[in-house]
């Protein structure tokens, strides 16, 4: 499993506290000269940020598609259609 796949699979666990912990661990590793470990923490943090950015971009596109419908009923229809697609993919 790649790092990106692992982050995707465990994304719900990657909260703000976890990101702070990663940053603190990386700083601690640097302070004791463990640069390889620090780089691994930084790589994980970068991967989480990239996955987060991709998810936010996807959510933004979906919201734009919904809002482009303008009429509330059409918006509701778009949401229902997205929901059906999501349920089928699971």
DSSP label at 69?
T
3-state secondary structure of 2: coil
The pTM of the full predicted model, rounded to 2 decimals, is 0.77
* 55 membership: H or E segment, kind and range: helix 35-67
Q: What is the pLDDT along the chain (90 residues), one digit of tens a residue?
A: 899 999 999 999 999 999 999 999 999 999 998 899 999 999 999 999 999 999 999 999 988 988 998 888 988 998 998 899 888 887
DSSP label at 10?
T
Query: Considering its fold, how many domains does the chain have in total?
Result: 1
**Domain range enclosing 9:** 3-89
């Amino acid at each position: 499993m790649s790092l990106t796949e692992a982050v995707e699979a465990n994304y719900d666990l990657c909260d703000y506290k976890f990101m702070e912990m990663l940053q603190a661990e990386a700083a601690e590793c640097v302070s004791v000269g463990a640069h390889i470990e620090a780089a691994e923490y930084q790589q994980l943090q970068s991967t989480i940020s990239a996955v987060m950015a991709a998810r936010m971009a996807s959510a933004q596109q979906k919201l734009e598609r919904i809002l482009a419908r303008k009429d509330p009923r059409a918006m509701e229809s778009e949401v229902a259609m997205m929901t059906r697609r999501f349920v089928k993919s699971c």
